[in-house]
Structures are given as structure tokens and as C-alpha cells.
């Protein structure tokens, strides 16, 4: 049986969290760690949670600021990224617990919507839906439609539709969506 607790990240967790993100993202580790480090450095992180097994950090999730460009106003929302679990602990419920805790934290922060880019099969099992089902558009055409996911919270209202606007850090790191050849591979694997 696996044991862990979900708690807010502290400054003492910074290096351990970076190691978790790097381990979880493999070949993309440098980019993902770099983006998240810049998000934090620029004050755009709204929450960081870790999964800890005793003194060992085994998972991490971050929430950062973005906007939804609705017709009547610009709405503050959150982006969930990265979600990371060390490879040897994946499939043990840590990712699901981090997702649930992140959604609860977003609700506490009072935002109406949280978005992410990810595997629609995985996130759908945890209550996420295609953003298009809420009239929410991805910030880039390089994000396959089914992969742009949303969870609508208590503050969400039907008029809150439009394009998501990522903060500059995501563009500066070229971290919005995918690039070919990976983009083409993902698009070919998606159901019609």
C-alpha cells in the first residue's frame, strides 16, 4: 500500500519538486522545469501542492494565472501545469489526489475555470471535459482539441466563453501546445 499526504509546497520543497517534475517529464524535463521555474520567479504561480511520503516529495502540481477572453470582460482563470509524479509511484493514486487537491484549491481561490493540456482519457476519468464543450478555445491551434481540458467551478457562468490567453512565459518557452512531428503523431492517434 502506498502512503502520502497532499500539502502546500514550501520553499524547502523547491529542489525536490524540480527533481519530481524532471523525472516525470523525461525528454521534456528541461523545458517543463524551465517554464515552471519562470512562472514562479515572475509571481504567476497561484498555488503549488506536493505529494509527500514522509520527508520525500513524490508528486507536484502547479496552478498559474491566465485569462479567458470573454466577450464582455477578461476573466482571471488558472492553468494546471505541470502535474508530476515520480515514475516509480505513477499509477498509485498520487496524480488523482493532486488533481483533486488542485481543483479544490482553485475553488478556494475563487476562479471559475481551470484549464490544462493533457491526455483526454486520463483527465476525463477525473472530471475534466473538453474545453470546447464550454465554448472555451485553446490559446494555440497547436493544442489538439480533445487535449485542451477544462473543469468548471462554482463561479462559472454560461457566458464565460472565449479564447484562453496564456501569460508570456508560456510563449517565451514555446510551451503552448505541441510542435511537429509530435503534434502530427498525437493528431493521428486521436479518434475522429
What is the reported pLDDT for 12? 94
Domain that holds residue 12: 5-189
Q: Distance between CA 90 and CA 98 in Å, rounded?
A: 12
Alpha helices in 143-181 (DSSP H): 168-172
Phi, psi (5° rounding) for residue 126? -115, 20
Query: What's 143's domain CATH number?
Result: 3.40.630.30
Residue 1, pLDDT score: 47
The pLDDT assigned to 189 comes to: 84
Burial class (CB in 10 A: 0-12, 13-18, 19+), 11: exposed
What pLDDT does 188 receive? 87
Q: Number of structural domains, the chain?
A: 1
- How far apart CA 129 and CA 120 sit, in angstroms, is 8
Backbone angles phi, psi at 185, to 5 degrees: -65, -45
Per-block mean pLDDT, blocks of 10 residues, the chain (192 long): 88 96 94 96 98 96 98 98 96 96 98 96 95 98 94 98 98 93 86 66
> Which residue is it, cell 503523431?
185
Nearest to 67 by CA among 158, 145, 136: 136
Amino acid at each position: 500500500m502506498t502512503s502520502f499526504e497532499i500539502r502546500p509546497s514550501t520553499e524547502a520543497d523547491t529542489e525536490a519538486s524540480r527533481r519530481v517534475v524532471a523525472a516525470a517529464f523525461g525528454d521534456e524535463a528541461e523545458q517543463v522545469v524551465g517554464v515552471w521555474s519562470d512562472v514562479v520567479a515572475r509571481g504567476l504561480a497561484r498555488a503549488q501542492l506536493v505529494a509527500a511520503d514522509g520527508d520525500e516529495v513524490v508528486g507536484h502540481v502547479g496552478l498559474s494565472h491566465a485569462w479567458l477572453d470573454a466577450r464582455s470582460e477578461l476573466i482571471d482563470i488558472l492553468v494546471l501545469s505541470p502535474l508530476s509524479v515520480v515514475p516509480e509511484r505513477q499509477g498509485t493514486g498520487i496524480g488523482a489526489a493532486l488533481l483533486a487537491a488542485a481543483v479544490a484549491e482553485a475553488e478556494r481561490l475563487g476562479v471559475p475555470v481551470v484549464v490544462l493540456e493533457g491526455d483526454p482519457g486520463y483527465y476525463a476519468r477525473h472530471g475534466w471535459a473538453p474545453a470546447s464543450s464550454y465554448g472555451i478555445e485553446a490559446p494555440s491551434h497547436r493544442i489538439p482539441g480533445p487535449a485542451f481540458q477544462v473543469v468548471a467551478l462554482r463561479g462559472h457562468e454560461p457566458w464565460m466563453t472565449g479564447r484562453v490567453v496564456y501569460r508570456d512565459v508560456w510563449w517565451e518557452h514555446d510551451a503552448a501546445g505541441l510542435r511537429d512531428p509530435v503534434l502530427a503523431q498525437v493528431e493521428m492517434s486521436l479518434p475522429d
